Amino acid sequence: MRRDGRVADSLLALLSRDWLGVPVALVVAGVGGGLVGVGAAWAVALGGLVIAVGVLLAAGAVRHLALVVREGRENPAPGRLVDVGGHRMHVLAAGESGAGPTVVWMPGGHAPGEEFRELHTMLSAHARSVLVDRLGTGWSDVGPFPRTTAVEAEELPAALEGAGERAPFVFVGHSFGGLLVANVARRRPDLVAGLVLLDPTPLEVIAFAPPNRRLAAMRRGLLLTVVRQLFGAHRGRGGRTGQGCAAVSIFAELSPPGLARVGWETVVYDGDLGDLPLVLVIPRDLTGGEMVLAGARSTAEAERISRFYLRSRVRYLAASTASRLVHTPQGTGHDFPREAPEFVVGVVGDLLRELRVISP
């Protein structure tokens, strides 16, 4: 199983090279030339077709490289690029910490820090606020493969240190980003003053929920997008293939077999965070997430699925003896950081004020 994983990691590392489309196109054209050289009528006809395909692939690959270069020129990194294990990570900071801790935001999915730019801008008027692009996102380098939460939980503090940001930190993470910052807190409690977890990913949902084909379909979709990018067959602005490859790699954790491999390193268990101040922010119901009920075969099963997801949402409360629960505004769902940014900034601000009061 691990050998298969190494092969997949090697393939993703190769696909993450934006220049890969050019040599692939040349190989295709070379195969076509070889067929033409056979001389038979059928071989000449087929070879001509293959050469034409190779030329089209080459043109698309060159277009992709041009788009990547243009994107980098038109959108330079707004923050600092710091070295983490030989790879550059992008850190954007603003605001003054005063007497309180610095806030570090981590969006959900495997998204860049830019996804939380609005929250960052709002908070930086009152506190020190930091956005970090994980390796393989935003302005950061792609980084090594495989991408895992355990690895990123080591890289994030290293990036903050490299950028000159000083502890203590309040880490704020949404969804998959919540799982990451909880892992940082478990590994480096000396750096963390508090956690705000915005509907964080509970790994019980991955291990024990009804079968969910959406994640597997999402990974396939990301791989297809990478191939399209390599050969310039995508619409819109140019994107680096490494970003899709990094997401495919780390999302491998989000399956029962993937979780079985990384569980001990990645799950934050009951009591793991001691008495760290922890605010768990979750919706009251399944607003926006009703699709999880789509496969229910009966009303009773739908009720069971709903109960499972709602109760799994609160599991992080057991990670600390100093945790508390906050519900999001009525009518908001899992995407509430985008739906109610003022509410989120208010929750973070409340914790900062509490920490200033209790600091020695």
Determine which helix (DSSP H) or strand (DSSP E) holds 30, and give its type and residue range: helix 21-38
State the average pLDDT for the chain: 93
Q: Are residues 135 and 91 in contact, defined by beta-carbon separation less than 8 angstroms? A: no
pLDDT in tens, 52-65: 999 999 999 999 99
**DSSP secondary structure letters along 107-143:** -STT--GGGGHHHHHHHHTTS-EEEEPPTTSTTS---
- In this structure, the answer to whether residues 86 and 24 fall within a common structural domain is no
- Distance spanning both ends of the chain, measured CA to CA: 51
- pLDDT at residue 4 in the model: 67
- In this structure, the answer to whether residues 240 and 330 fall within a common structural domain is no
Token pair belonging to 191: 């750096």
The yes-or-no verdict on residue 360 having pLDDT over 50 is no
- In this structure, the answer to whether residues 243 and 264 fall within a common structural domain is no
Residue 208 domain-assigned?
A: no
- pLDDT at residue 239 in the model: 81
Residue 342 domain-assigned?
A: yes
- pLDDT at residue 215 in the model: 78
pLDDT in tens, 180-225: 999 999 999 999 999 999 999 999 888 888 877 777 788 899 999 9
Give the mean pLDDT of 153-169: 97
- pLDDT at residue 357 in the model: 66
Domain that holds residue 236: 2-76+213-247
- In this structure, the answer to whether residues 11 and 126 fall within a common structural domain is no
The yes-or-no verdict on residue 91 having pLDDT over 50 is yes
Please classify residue 2 by burial: count the beta carbons closer than 10 Å to its beta carbon, then call 0-12 exposed, 13-18 middle and 19+ buried. exposed
- pLDDT at residue 22 in the model: 97
| Domains held by the chain: number | 2
- In this structure, the answer to whether residues 99 and 179 fall within a common structural domain is yes
Residue 207 domain-assigned?
A: no
- In this structure, the answer to whether residues 151 and 91 fall within a common structural domain is yes
Residue 143 domain-assigned?
A: yes
- In this structure, the answer to whether residues 40 and 89 fall within a common structural domain is no
DSSP three-state, residue 93: strand
pLDDT in tens, 214-263: 777 888 999 999 999 999 987 766 689 999 999 999 999 998 999 999 99
pTM for the whole thing? 0.93
Q: Are residues 230 and 24 in contact, defined by beta-carbon separation less than 8 angstroms? A: yes
- In this structure, the answer to whether residues 264 and 231 fall within a common structural domain is no
The CATH code of the domain that includes 261 is 3.40.50.1820
- In this structure, the answer to whether residues 285 and 341 fall within a common structural domain is yes
- pLDDT at residue 292 in the model: 81
- pLDDT at residue 236 in the model: 64
User: CB under 8 Å to 39, separation ≥6 — which residues?
Assistant: none
Q: Identify the weakest region by mean pLDDT among 73-87, 166-180, 248-262.
A: 248-262
DSSP summary character for residue 132: E
